[in-house]
Amino acid sequence: NADAAMYYAKENGRDNYQFFTREINQQVNERLLMENALRQALAQGQLEVYYQPQVALPGLAIVGVEALLRWHHPEWGMVSPGRFIPVAEETGLIVPIGEWVLREACAQQLRWRDEGLAVRMAVNLSSVQFQHGDLAGLITGIVTGMGAVPENIELEITESVVLDCADCARDTLTRLHELGFSIAMDDFGTGYSSLSYINQLPLDRIKIDQSFVRDITSNPQSSAIASAVVAMARSLDLQVIAEGVETAEQLEYLRLLECEELQGYLFGRPQPADAIGRLLRGDPPG
Ligand code: C2E
Ligand code: MG
Ligand code: MG
Ligand code: MG
């Protein structure tokens, strides 16, 4: 917060004040630069949707893919979603961008369906999208208007959706769920109040956050949490998928826990649609 930083800086003398204002100006400029660039990105076709496989145990067949946004900037190269999604959220640009991602993902799912390749399509939703108009109507209009089927689409939310507006999130998600969409709770276990909302929302699936998977074989606390999440999901009749699976050891550990599905670099990185199509058809890579 600029005012607070300025106050702090004043309290700490003139040199610090100048240092802080310079620092803040630089940050503000970077933000403005990225905001303007992001506005152009959508119009100029710099955005692309990549897809990452989700596999089911025991046979590791690909049952779904997650749509993950990529930004190829002409000068900066590939900008990571971790950097531009927050800017898109602060500026509201995530609303048109999120719509675009959903359209792209549906169109791709339909192309695969025409080839006889059936995969569930998971799309990430930002809490900001829940605060703009009738999100359930918008999503349903897009999906059914394109000829896709809500039952084959999964909507991923994070805890911030609930924190930003518990009531509107619940109403919107309940409608979407009634219309046939699956709802997945992303990054589960990293938030503040994970357990209090879990039975208030119409959830179908929990995604165990990759931070627990990363050291699941070496850190007893991580493996205890992963194991507890799987047990909780089973007793609440929720599906469970582990994120960030990178090694055969992690795979075997999650197999022992009887986790149902897995996602991670071990089974495939997020890739352009063509590469995922080859994986789905079982073509040799290349
Ligand atoms: P997320 O939804 O939790 O997506 C999973 C992230 O984990 C992706 O990062 C994916 O590339 C990464 N990942 C998958 N497997 C592995 C693995 O084995 N190891 C490691 N280290 N990482 C793995 P990505 O693509 O950089 O996206 C980051 C976040 O940006 C996403 O986290 C999601 O919160 C957000 N995001 C991406 N696309 C969209 C979008 O279309 N809309 C919205 N609202 N958010 C998006
Ligand atoms: Mg996700
Ligand atoms: Mg996640
Ligand atoms: Mg995440």
DSSP character string of 211-228: HHHHTTTT-HHHHHHHHH
250 lines ligand 1 (CB under 6 A): no
What's phi and psi for 240, nearest 5 deg? -140, 140
What's phi and psi for 204, nearest 5 deg? -110, -30
**Interatomic CA distance for residues 60 and 78, integer angstroms:** 30
Protein residue with its CA nearest to atom 46 in ligand 1: 124
Q: What is the pLDDT along the chain (286 residues), one digit of tens a residue?
A: 555 555 555 555 555 666 667 777 778 788 889 999 999 999 999 999 999 999 999 999 999 999 999 999 999 999 999 999 999 999 999 999 999 999 999 999 999 999 999 999 999 999 999 998 899 999 999 999 999 999 999 999 998 888 877 777 899 999 999 999 999 999 998 876 667 788 889 999 999 999 999 999 999 999 999 999 999 999 999 999 999 999 999 999 999 999 999 999 999 999 999 999 999 999 876 5
Protein residue with its CA nearest to atom 17 in ligand 1: 244
Question: Is this prediction's ipTM beyond 0.95?
Answer: yes
Q: Are 237 and 206 in contact (CB under 8 A)?
A: no
Cα–ligand 1 centroid distance for 186 (angstroms): 10
Distances, alpha carbon 80 to alpha carbons 32, 56, 245, in Å: 17, 28, 20
**Interatomic CA distance for residues 278 and 286, integer angstroms:** 9
265 lines ligand 1 (CB under 6 A): yes
Q: Which ligand is nearest to the CA of 187?
A: 3
227 lines ligand 1 (CB under 6 A): no
Q: Which residues sit opposite 67 in a β-bridge? A: 51, 123
268 lines ligand 1 (CB under 6 A): no
